[in-house]
Amino acid sequence: MPRHRLPGRCPVCDGELTVVRLRCEGCGTGVDGAFALPRLARLSPEQQEFVEIFLRARGNIREVERELGISYPTVRNRLDAILEALGHREESRADPAEDRARRRREILDALERGELTPEAAIRLLRER
């Protein structure tokens, strides 16, 4: 029997889906009930692929940049979108100076870990 990709959201209304039947491939036993999808299954196929690449790179953003051919800010934006999709919303910051300082620390930390080249860090620091 062909297997289809498990949808993460309802294709009609984008609502949350519930699994109602499970079946053992070995013996055919079925279990009926209401089971929540794992949170990672709720991600889009593209987001799931990004998570796999991120994990294979062991969280090394520079490696993710290289494999996907995208910039550091794009990696960060995708991570933020995935966190939001998983229900981890970051509180908006009221103080723009605090937000800039936090961003500067993140860039410098990434530089120290070797995830950014000095040139890339300088470019990102100047963008702010």
Degrees to nearest 5, angle at CA 44 with 48 and 30: 85
| Domain boundaries of the chain, sorted by first residue | 6-38, 43-127
Per-residue pLDDT tens over the stretch 52-68: 999 999 999 999 999 99
Per-residue pLDDT tens over the stretch 11-44: 888 887 888 888 998 999 999 988 887 888 888 8
- List Cβ<8 Å contacts ≥24 apart for 94-103: 100/128, 103/128
Per-residue pLDDT tens over the stretch 63-83: 999 999 988 888 988 999 899
Per-residue pLDDT tens over the stretch 118-128: 988 888 888 75
Highest mean pLDDT among 47-51, 96-100, 106-110: 47-51
Residue 90's pLDDT is what?
A: 64
| Residue 46 amino acid letter | E
Residue 2's pLDDT is what?
A: 66
Contacts (Cβ under 8 Å, ≥6 apart) of 82:
43, 47, 50, 51
Whether residue 55 contacts residue 47, with contact meaning beta carbons closer than 8 Å, is answered with no
Environment class of 70 (CB within 10 Å of its CB; exposed 0-12, middle 13-18, buried 19+): middle
Dihedral angle computed from the Cα positions of residues 73, 77, 80 and 84, in that order, rounded to the nearest 10 degrees: 170
